[in-house]
Amino acid sequence: MNKLVKKTLITAVLAAAAFALYYNFSLLPGYQDLEKGISDYIITYGLHDTGSLNLITAVLYDYRAFDSLGESTVIFGAVSGIVLILSRKMLPVSSKGLSFIVKRTLGIMTPFIALFGFYVITHGHLSPGGGFQGGVILAAISIIFSIVYGSAFDYRRYSPQTKTVLETGGALTFLVIGLAGIVMEGAFLKNLGFLTAERGTLISAGSIPYINIGVGFKVGAGLAIIFYSMIQKTFEEDF
């Protein structure tokens, strides 16, 4: 088939699909007409039920914590799969890293990035953020180390075994809190009442901060493992 004809055909099909979707979405009821039950409910009772000032975290880690458990399990499975597919049984040999100036600059910056990551994780129930976002920031530190200081630096500091332990530890935290919910509150993953403190303080909102910490470590370690298993071969050749 002629290339031009093919291109036009694809464009036409895509345009038709886009139009169909647009037509359908234009049929949607306006935002105001939506059944307001759910958002009203969260705004009215969310803080009272969960003690979390950040209502999004309240939904993610309390009302629908089971879904979050599923999502973090998906990350866990994806990490296992990528390790399975990409593992090469090669000793990581490092590049020398970037220049002195970059190393110095990032040496000063990295602690602050780590601090911000921990802040996002631990203050998930008070301000925007939470386990997922903070975990990714922590994973970014590992990536910066690999690129700027060479992958062996990161390997020596935090070996893959340590990361695996951190990851499974995070997953276990989530599961154990869930099972504790059965024992103490009568339902899986229900907010643990005895942990609740005064609203707005750091250690409040029941089990939400602890789930956040578990998810944070899990996501951070998991994504670092993914990046690490992808980068191995590249730097070996740069050496």
Site for another protein in 127-146 (CB under 8 A): 128-130, 132-133, 136-137, 139-140, 143
Q: Least distance (Å) from another protein to the CB of residue 203?
A: 21
* Contact (CB, 8 A) for 208 and 124: yes
- Contact track, another protein, 94-133, x by CB under 8 A: --------------------------x-------xxx-xx
Tokens linked to 123: 């203050």
Q: Which is nearer to another protein, 120 or 152 (CB)?
A: 120
Q: Least distance (Å) from another protein to the CB of residue 137?
A: 6
Footprint on residues 73-92 left by another protein (CB under 8 A): 73-74, 76-78, 80-85
| Binds another protein (CB under 8 A): choice among 52, 65, 95, 177 | 65
Footprint on residues 157-196 left by another protein (CB under 8 A): 164, 168, 171-172, 175, 178-179, 182-184, 186-191
Q: Least distance (Å) from another protein to the CB of residue 196?
A: 14
Q: Least distance (Å) from another protein to the CB of residue 130?
A: 7
Stretch that binds another protein, among 55-63, 93-101, 104-112, 204-212 (CB under 8 A): 55-63
| Binds another protein (CB under 8 A): choice among 52, 54, 94, 212 | 54
Stretch that binds another protein, among 24-32, 92-100, 103-111, 193-201 (CB under 8 A): 24-32
Stretch that binds another protein, among 59-67, 92-100, 101-109, 205-213 (CB under 8 A): 59-67
CA dist., res. 164 & res. 144, Å (int): 19
Task: Note the maximum CA span of the chain.
Answer: 70
Tokens linked to 190: 């229900």
When asked if residue 66 is in the footprint of another protein (CB under 8 A), the reply is yes
